[in-house]
């Protein structure tokens, strides 16, 4: 056999090459153990999502959670708009691989409001006044911010980005890469919102010079909740920063941003605000037929979580 004829010197040389290659290949792994943390550091993203019970809730949360499972170093803060935590949300979170915090607070809307304007909500604990406006997720996001402050105070690492995420929006993984670059407040375009294909900050010489928005363009920051993220440390520096019921609809974004930034502070991301990495999609309310009114009703399905 030819193998038998190979001279001992060649065999030894071959083995030497093998050993050298082996050592060369394992060098990065050995080095890794001694590399300081700074080179591999990825800031945490705290995603704050209010959510409420409805037929499409599990579908929306499934889609969102499975996107989030692909994001590195992500902490999901989910706040149910309910008196108690539901097993649907609890199980969905447990079954995910996500790092999460599960909270709840109920928005108290009066059932006996005589106010005709559907944009105006009346709250059990407050006097009726027309300057109080209906907005989703105000109490829930504030509860999350208070939790976050406590968490950051107790934590060695106070860095990170805070992103307010509706449960039915559509998020590209690219938007999370963008927000890791934030120094104070990062901004980017949002698709399909405010009556536009895309609502976006305008950029001149690398700075935000204005906004392309047609819905209430007089807002201090005419930008959707999905269009910005804030450095987490700023919530420690501004313990008063919170959302408010006392502002008209569409002003929640401006309300929170006013505590932490001026227009000059905004950092245009997503290739100078020329790319859409998030869409303000809205899940259509499903219409279910009433089984009692059907000639041939389906089998009962109440025991199945949908
Ligand atoms: N939301 C809530 N309670 C409500 C209505 C909405 O917690 O009574 C949540 C909802 O799940 C979503 C966020 O608040 O995560 C924004 O609501 P929605 O998506 O309905 O707002 P829109 O798309 O109309 O701006
Ligand atoms: Mn939505």
Domain contains 37: no
Whether 107 lines ligand 1, by a CB cut-off of 6 Å, is: yes
pLDDT of residue 146: 98
Residue 2 counted as domain residue: no
Report if residue 163 sits inside a domain: yes
Task: State the Cα–Cα distance between residues 188 and 225, nearest whole angstrom.
Answer: 11
Which of 117-126, 127-136, 177-186, 233-242 is least confident?
117-126
Question: For the chain, what percent of residues have pLDDT higher than 90?
Answer: 77
d(CA 223, CA 194) in angstroms, rounded, equals 9
Quickly state the pLDDT bin for 109 (edges 50, 70, 90). Answer: confident
How many independent structural domains does the chain possess?
A: 1
pLDDT of residue 18: 63
Q: Is residue 242 part of a domain?
A: yes
Residue nearest to atom 5 of ligand 1 (CA): 136
| Upper half-sphere CA count for residue 67 (Cβ side, 13 Å) | 18
Is 166 touching ligand 1 by the criterion CB < 6 Å?
Answer: yes
- Ligand 1 center from residue 273 Cα (angstroms): 25
233 has a pLDDT exceeding 90: yes
Q: How far is CA 220 from CA 44, 187, 217, 242, 261, in A?
A: 28, 14, 8, 16, 11
67 lies in some domain: yes
25 Cα: distance to centroid of ligand 1 (angstroms): 51
> Which of the ligands is closest to the CA of residue 193?
1
Q: What average pLDDT does this structure show over 19-34?
A: 50
Query: What is the model's pLDDT at position 21?
Result: 62
Domain with 200 in it: what CATH number? 3.90.550.10
Is residue 36 in some structural domain?
no
Catalytic choice (178, 253, 255, 267):
253
* Host domain of residue 56: 45-279
Q: What is the pTM of this model?
A: 0.84
Assigned domain for 292 exists? no
Q: Give the mean pLDDT of 4-9.
A: 62
Q: Does 271 participate in catalysis according to the annotation?
A: no
Q: 296 in a domain, yes or no? A: no
Q: 123 pLDDT exceeds 80?
A: no
Q: Which atom of ligand 1 is nearest to the CA of 80?
A: 7
């Amino acid at each position: 056999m030819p193998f038998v004829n190979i001279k001992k010197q060649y065999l030894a040389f071959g083995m030497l090459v093998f050993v050298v290659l082996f050592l060369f290949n394992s060098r990065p792994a050995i080095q890794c153990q001694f590399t300081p943390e700074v080179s591999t550091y990825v800031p945490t993203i705290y995603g704050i999502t209010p959510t409420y019970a409805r037929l499409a809730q599990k579908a929306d949360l499934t889609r969102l959670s499975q996107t989030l499972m692909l994001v590195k170093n992500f902490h999901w803060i989910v706040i149910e708009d309910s008196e108690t935590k539901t097993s649907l949300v609890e199980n969905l979170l447990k079954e995910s691989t996500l790092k999460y915090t599960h909270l709840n607070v109920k928005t108290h809307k009066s059932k006996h409001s005589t106010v005709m304007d559907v944009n105006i909500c009346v709250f059990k604990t407050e006097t009726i006044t027309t300057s109080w406006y209906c907005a989703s997720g105000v109490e829930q996001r504030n509860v999350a911010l208070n939790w976050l402050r406590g968490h950051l105070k107790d934590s060695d690492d106070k860095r990170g980005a805070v992103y307010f995420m509706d449960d039915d929006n559509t998020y590209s993984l690219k938007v999370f890469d963008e927000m890791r670059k934030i120094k104070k407040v990062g901004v980017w375009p949002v698709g399909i919102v405010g009556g536009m294909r895309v609502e976006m900050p305008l950029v001149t010489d690398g700075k935000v010079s204005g906004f392309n928005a047609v819905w209430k363009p007089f807002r201090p920051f005419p930008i959707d909740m999905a269009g910005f993220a804030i450095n987490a440390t700023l919530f420690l520096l501004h313990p008063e920063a919170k959302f408010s019921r006392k502002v008209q609809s569409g002003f929640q974004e401006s309300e929170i941003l006013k505590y932490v930034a001026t227009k000059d502070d905004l950092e245009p991301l997503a290739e100078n605000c020329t790319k859409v990495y998030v869409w303000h999609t809205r899940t259509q309310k499903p219409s279910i037929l009433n089984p009692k009114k059907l000639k041939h009703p389906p089998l009962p399905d109440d025991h199945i979580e949908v």
